[in-house]
């Protein structure tokens, strides 16, 4: 289960993480976001021990979404060493997101 990001957990769970993190920025009203949920969960299992996975609801953590410059959902933020490394926006196939995460982990 991904880490749920909010203003209380952000500093400890994200900024101070010793592992690379993939953050799924979503909204409950977003169709493509809901389609990505099972894909994100499957990839979390595949990458267990190599990368952490987190979820950020734009409606519940608007200030953090703004800090990351999120303008649409779904957005995937790749975060390591205390800062955002990159982000991708929009629906992705499982294979495309898997490849993106693999590249991210190798570069982190």
Annotated catalytic sites, by residue? 30, 33
* Burial of 108 from C-beta contacts in 10 A (0-12 / 13-18 / 19+): middle
Tokens of 44: 């979390």
**Side-chain half-sphere CA neighbours of 1 within 13 A:** 2
Q: CA geometry: angle at 63 spanning 60 and 66, to 5°?
A: 115
């Amino acid at each position: 289960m991904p880490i749920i990001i909010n203003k209380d957990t952000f500093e400890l769970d994200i900024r101070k993480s010793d592992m690379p993190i993939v953050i799924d920025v979503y909204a409950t009203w977003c169709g493509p976001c809901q389609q990505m949920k099972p894909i994100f969960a499957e990839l979390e299992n595949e990458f267990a021990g190599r990368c952490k996975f987190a979820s950020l609801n734009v409606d519940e953590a608007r200030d953090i979404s703004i800090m990351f410059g999120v303008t649409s959902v779904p957005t995937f933020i790749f975060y390591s060493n205390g800062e955002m490394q990159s982000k991708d926006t929009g629906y992705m196939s499982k294979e495309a997101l898997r490849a993106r995460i693999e590249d991210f982990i190798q570069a982190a």
